[in-house]
């Protein structure tokens, strides 16, 4: 009750009372519960919001967040909370490839091969649907909670060449995540800031800005030699992405210069959107 405005439950009770008055007066049928997701609404008083033309100003509680994508977990947020697990549907449903091997053993052109091929196609369609649904829920939650979202421009094409990580990376759907995040942020009036793939998010201390020379993938925790701060590799990267997004947004609005960085426009969102998301790249 404390997390929402008092007007929402109050007006719901008042409107329910009006509905019962109309029912007993014979002007309407017995009140029915509204179905979730159909004509959802709530009530606010005029002192709790304002209009800028025909738009609501951005909410004060929607701040910035950095999102570091990973293989063991889908994402780690700069808020420091628990990692966001990925569904990994390909690994969970295909397993050791039993369905694929069953298809390869069938005689070409036979009815059994046709059935096995259709079964494998349905399985892959289910895998794609599970992955897409998970990414939809995560990106929707992010764009609802935060206005500025910092992510990293991952070189997925080059990373999948690593045969040890290729299946796990494609199972997470990094490209689909970025695609959904971009158009949803634009739809809600937010901003997605994409850091260049050479941005040293993991090797830079989020406390003092000191950058170490090397940091192998097996090292998950490290101590900054400059200030002595202890870092979790993924959380530190997410915090750096958040700081990068905030500083880039400040520069785009005419604030102080963010250093040797240049502004470019992001890949356009879908055709129904009239906004573009700024992408900021550091020069090397």
3-state secondary structure 193-244: EEECCCCCCCCECCCCCCECCCCCCCCCEEECCCCCCEEEHHHHHHHHHHHH
Q: Which residues contact 139 (CB under 8 A, 6 or more apart)?
A: 177, 180, 181, 184
Name which of 33-37, 151-155, 176-180, 278-282 the model is least confident about.
278-282
What does the DSSP assignment read for 69-112?
E-SSSSEEETT----B----HHHHHHTTTHHHHHHHTSPTT-HH
68 is catalytic: yes
Convert the pLDDT of each residue in 31-64 to its tens digit. Answer: 988 888 778 877 877 666 777 776 665 745 468 9
Q: Which of 18, 47, 152, 176 is catalytic?
A: 152
Q: What is the pLDDT of residue 35?
A: 82
Selected catalytic residue, list 68, 176, 182, 232: 68
The pLDDT value given to residue 149: 94
Is the pLDDT assigned to residue 150 strictly greater than 90? yes
DSSP letters spanning 125-194: HHHHHHHHHHHHHHHHHHHHH-SEEEEE---HHHHTTSTTTHHHHHHHTHHHHHHHHHHHHHHTT-EEEE
Mean pLDDT, residues 186-190: 87
Checking if the pLDDT of 146 tops 60, the result is yes
Residue 252 pLDDT level (bands cut at 50, 70, 90) = low
Residue 1: its pLDDT value, please?
66
- According to the model, what pLDDT value does residue 267 have? 42
Active-site annotation holds for 152: yes
Exactly one of 153, 232, 234, 256 is catalytic; name it.
234
The alpha carbon of 28 is separated from its chain's Cα centroid by a whole number of angstroms, namely 44
Tell me if the pTM is above 0.75: no
User: How high is the pLDDT of residue 181?
Assistant: 93
Closest to 252 measured CA to CA, from 239, 260, 242, 262:
262
User: Residues 138, 141, 142, CA angle at the centre, nearest 5°?
Assistant: 85
Closest CA to 103 of 95, 112, 94: 112
Per-residue confidence band for 223, with pLDDT thresholds at 50, 70 and 90: very high
Predicted local confidence at residue 20, as pLDDT: 95
pLDDT at 48: 66
pLDDT: is 3 or 136 the higher one?
Answer: 136
Q: What is the pLDDT of residue 16?
A: 92
Mean of the per-residue pLDDT values of the chain: 82
pLDDT at position 126, please? 93
pLDDT of residue 127: 92
Of 161, 175, 194, the closest CA to residue 66 belongs to 194
pLDDT in tens, 56-105: 657 454 689 999 998 888 999 998 888 888 888 888 887 677 888 889 99
Question: What is the predicted pLDDT for the residue at 55?
Answer: 64
For every residue of 230-284, DSSP letters joined together read EEEHHHHHHHHHHHHHHHHHHHHTT-S--SSEEEEEPPPPPTT-----EEEEE--
Q: Which pLDDT does position 254 carry in this prediction?
A: 59
Q: Taking 80 as the threshold, does the pLDDT of residue 117 lie above it?
A: yes
């Amino acid at each position: 009750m404390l997390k929402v405005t008092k007007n929402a439950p109050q007006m719901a009770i008042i409107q329910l009372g009006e509905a019962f008055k109309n029912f007993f007066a014979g002007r309407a049928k017995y009140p029915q519960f509204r179905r979730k997701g159909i004509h959802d609404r709530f009530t606010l008083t005029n002192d709790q919001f304002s209009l800028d033309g025909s738009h609501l100003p951005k909410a004060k509680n929607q701040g910035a967040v950095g999102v570091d994508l990973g293989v063991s977990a889908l994402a780690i947020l700069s808020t420091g909370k628990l990692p966001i697990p990925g569904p990994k549907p390909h690994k969970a449903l295909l397993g050791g490839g039993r369905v694929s091997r069953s298809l390869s053993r069938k005689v070409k052109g036979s009815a059994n091969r046709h059935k096995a091929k259709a079964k494998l196609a349905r399985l892959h369609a289910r895998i794609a649907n599970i992955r897409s649904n998970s990414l939809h829920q995560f990106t929707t939650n992010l764009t609802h909670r935060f206005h500025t979202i910092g992510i990293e421009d991952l070189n997925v094409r080059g990373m999948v060449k690593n045969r040890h990580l290729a299946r796990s990376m494609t199972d997470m759907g990094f490209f689909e995540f970025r695609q959904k995040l971009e158009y949803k942020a634009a739809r809600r009036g937010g901003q997605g800031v994409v850091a260049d793939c050479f941005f040293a998010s993991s090797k830079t201390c989020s406390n003092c800005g000191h950058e170490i020379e090397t940091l192998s993938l097996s090292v998950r925790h490290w101590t900054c030699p400059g200030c002595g701060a202890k870092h979790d590799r993924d959380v530190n990267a997410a915090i750096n992405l958040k700081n990068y997004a905030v500083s880039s947004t400040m520069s785009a609005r005419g604030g102080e210069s963010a250093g040797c960085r240049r502004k470019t426009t992001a890949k356009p969102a879908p055709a129904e959107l009239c906004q573009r998301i700024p992408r900021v790249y550091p020069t090397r």
